[in-house]
Structure 1
Amino acid sequence: MRIGLLASNPELPSNQRILEAGEERGHRIRFYDIRQCYMKLDAEHPEIHYRGGRLLNKLDAVVPRIRPDLTFYGCALVRQFESLGIFSLNSAEAISHSRDKLYSLQHLLQQGLPIPTTGFADSPLDTDELIDMVNGAPMIVKLLEGPQRRGVVLAESRTAGESLINAFKSLQANLLVQEYIKEADGKSLRLLVIDGKVVCAVERQGIPGQFRHHKQQSRLLAARISADERKLAIKAAKSIGLKVAGVDILRSRKGPLILEVTSSPALDDLEEVCGKDLAGAMISAIEKQLGWKRKLATPVNR
């Protein structure tokens, strides 16, 4: 098969692993920088080109790994591939929905899936009531447009929360305020779902003094998960429409709560902890979708 990896940085370990996995399985897989792709919208001859004029219309499938700041253009590009009948491992619609933090939380609730209590307001005049909605301090303040793993702050006191909210509001930034789950003790689960199955589960523990789990600022350990946590991750990915998803879960007294569903989860650190070929599982999902069967070796006549 001819597969295109749509991303921004060919040197990223996760992207390298996907390229390796595709080649190991005998496919022609190439990296294409999203920003170097351009498209022709035309009723009779729609096209997608890569820098230098190379035509990409003959690809069998694409694997989108879209950076948060390229969501708009990246999703437009994936939609163009889909309109040409080229399979995308994650659809443009699903990626777009996963990147809209407010929409995805509302959608998860509509599907009956649990999340931490969350408040959203437009006016700074509502700051006090917003804080009360999430049971006061400590609380989590999240920028809706924040890049991945950024724009998330723990406000340990009511005063700190008010200052943060009002400062962000003065910059016309949209934000969520979320209850702090004390019993989680700064830990969260990352479950990787590929094609309707949880293929890896890790526990992330932030280093002392750090709240948000950044790759360089957290410790990953293989995690044993419950049947409820497994089902919740699978349902969350399916409800957003993602074939590949990282589902972040908090363990609370009320049971597991979904923090976030991401469409471009890092693979390399998860592979290292879980000891599994996760990039290969992504390629296998494409093979299954397109009905591709590995060629068997020619039998030797005896």
Structure 2
Amino acid sequence: MKLAILSCGPRSYSTRRLKEAALERNYDVKVLNTLKFAIDLDRGSPDLYYNQKALSHYDAVLPRIGASITYYGTAVVRQFEEMNVFCANTANGITNSRDKLRSLQILSRHHIGIPRTTFVKDKKDVLPAIERVGGAPVVIKLIEGTQGIGVLLAETLKAAESIIELLQSQKQNVLIQKFVAESKGKDIRAFVVGDRVVAAMRRVAQGSEFRSNVHRGGIAEAVELSDDYTETAVRAAQILG
């Protein structure tokens, strides 16, 4: 199998581990810089160039698209899809996952459990929205953000109102979300391949930090999922694409 890993960070840990795993299976694997592609379109003939040369055939692609290049990165992935190359993560799946509101709308429609969430623009709607999700404390999130950046905990109604007003004054779109106190700074990440969970980890926040992201100092530990959690993880991955 000839495999391409799309990544702007060939020396990053995740990219190196993917390449090592592919080599262990005797795959012909290359790391290709996502920003070095040129997308060519003609009637019935989508094509890709890499470093000014026509791209040779690949059987499959593993996209590692950073948040800062989502638009261009997903365009490249979409072009591979148009060329009938298997992509482990689809362009639509990547785009959906980068927009918190969009992903929650999709999961809600398919009856996947999510924290109660609201999205408002008018200042007059803020306090009623907070009450609808259960009142303070509430979690306030930027619609686009990774690694826990742009996720804030407002302990009081006044604090929530002030934070939202400040963010909206900076033209930011924000979500207001129920604070799940019983999680106690923990969450679970499941890695889904096809129709099964191949690995899962529990992330635990440290100290007074409520965000469990490893980039925020959280600690990760391997965990076995229950059947209910496994089913939900697989369904969510398939629904989002």
TM-score bracket for this pair, using the shorter chain length: over 0.9
Match of 2:15 in 1: 15
SS of corresponding position for 2:159: helix
Match of 2:41 in 1: 41
* Partner Cα distance (1:122, 1:165) in 2: 10
Tell me, yes or no, if the aligned pair for 2:203 and 2:214 is still in contact at 8 Å: no
SS of corresponding position for 1:90: coil
TM value normalised by structure 2: 0.94
Aligned pair count reads: 240
* Partner Cα distance (2:117, 2:63) in 1: 30
Which deviates more, 227-236 or 211-220?
Answer: 211-220
Tell me, yes or no, if the aligned pair for 2:139 and 2:179 is still in contact at 8 Å: yes
Gaps of 5+ in 2: none
Deviation at 1:223, TM superposition (A): 2.2
**Post-superposition CA distance 1:77-129 (Å, at most 9, x none):** 11111111111111111211222211111111111111000010112221111
**Post-superposition CA distance 1:258-296 (Å, at most 9, x none):** xxxxxxxxxxxxxxxxxxxxxxxxxxxxxxxxxxxxxxx
Is residue 117 of structure 2 the alignment partner of residue 118 of structure 1?
yes
SS of corresponding position for 2:201: strand
Q: What percentage of residue pairs aligned between the two structures are identical? A: 37
Match of 1:177 in 2: 176
**Post-superposition CA distance 1:223-280 (Å, at most 9, x none):** 2432211111111111112xxxxxxxxxxxxxxxxxxxxxxxxxxxxxxxxxxxxxxx
Match of 1:236 in 2: 236
**Post-superposition CA distance 1:139-159 (Å, at most 9, x none):** 100000223431111111212
Which deviates more, 220-229 or 130-139?
Answer: 220-229
Q: Which amino acid aligns with 2:220?
A: L
Superposed CA RMSD: 1.4
* Partner Cα distance (1:6, 1:195) in 2: 19
Measured at CA, do residues 43 and 30 of structure 1 come closer, stay the same or move farther in structure 2, by a change above 3 Å?
same
SS of corresponding position for 1:31: strand
Match of 1:94 in 2: 93
Report 1:21-36 matches (<5 A).
21-36=21-36
Tell me, yes or no, if the aligned pair for 2:189 and 2:203 is still in contact at 8 Å: yes
Match of 2:75 in 1: 76
* Partner Cα distance (2:41, 2:60) in 1: 19
Match of 2:225 in 1: 225
* Partner Cα distance (1:156, 1:30) in 2: 48
Match of 2:129 in 1: 130
Measured at CA, do residues 44 and 233 of structure 1 come closer, stay the same or move farther in structure 2, by a change above 3 Å?
closer
Measured at CA, do residues 80 and 207 of structure 1 come closer, stay the same or move farther in structure 2, by a change above 3 Å?
same
TM value normalised by structure 1: 0.76
Deviation at 1:61, TM superposition (A): 1.3
Is residue 138 of structure 2 the alignment partner of residue 139 of structure 1?
yes
SS of corresponding position for 1:4: strand
Match of 1:254 in 2: none
Deviation at 1:160, TM superposition (A): 1.3
SS of corresponding position for 1:113: coil
